[in-house]
Amino acid sequence: MKKIIRIGHSPDPDDAFMFYGLAKKHISINGNEIADVILDIQTLNEKALNLELDITAISAAVYPLVRKDYWILSCGASVGRNYGPILVAKKNFDHSDLKGKKIAVPGLNTTAYLLLKIFFKDFKPVPMDFKEIIPSVLKDEVDLGLVIHEGQLNFSSYGLEKCVDLGKFWFEKFNLPIPLGLDVVKKNLGLEMAKKIKEALYQSIQYAMENESQALEYALEFGRGISKESAKKFVGMYVNEDTLDLGNDGSLALEKLFSLGYESGFFKEKVLPEII
Report pLDDT digits (tens) over 7-37.
999 888 899 999 999 999 999 998 888 898 9
Residues 161-209: tens digit of each pLDDT: 999 999 999 999 999 999 999 999 999 999 999 999 999 999 999 999 9
pLDDT at 192: 96
Residue 215 has pLDDT above 90, yes or no: yes
Say if strands 33-38 and 4-9 run parallel, antiparallel, or are unpaired.
parallel
| Residue 1 predicted with pLDDT over 70 | no
Could you confirm whether domain 4-80+178-263 is CATH 3.40.190.10? Answer: yes
In this prediction, residue 93 carries a pLDDT of 82
- Residue 72 has a pLDDT of 98
Q: Which of 9, 26, 95, 149 is catalytic?
A: 149
3 state SS for the chain: CCCEEEEEECCCHHHHHHCHHHHCCCCCECCEEEEEEECCHHHHHHHHHCCCCCEEEEEHHHHHHHCCCEEECCCCCEEECCCCCEEEECCCCCHHHCCCCEEEECCCCCHHHHHHHHHCCCCEEEECCHHHHHHHHHCCCCCEEEECCCHHHHHHHHCCEEEEEHHHHHHHHHCCCEEEEEEEEEHHHCHHHHHHHHHHHHHHHHHHHHCHHHHHHHHHCCCCCCCHHHHHHHHHHHCCHHHHCCHHHHHHHHHHHHHHHHHCCCCCCCCCCCEC
Beta-bridge partners for 9: 38
Question: Is residue 95's pLDDT more than 90?
Answer: no
Overall pTM > 0.85 = yes
Q: What is the pLDDT of residue 149?
A: 86
What average pLDDT does the chain have?
93
26 is catalytic: no
All structural domains of the chain with their residue ranges:
4-80+178-263, 86-174
Q: Are 9 and 16 in contact (CB under 8 A)?
A: yes
Q: What is the pLDDT of residue 226?
A: 77
CATH class for domain 86-174? alpha beta
pLDDT of 225 higher than 70: no
What would the pLDDT profile of 117-154 be if each residue is shown by its tens digit? Answer: 999 989 999 999 998 999 999 999 999 999 998 888 88
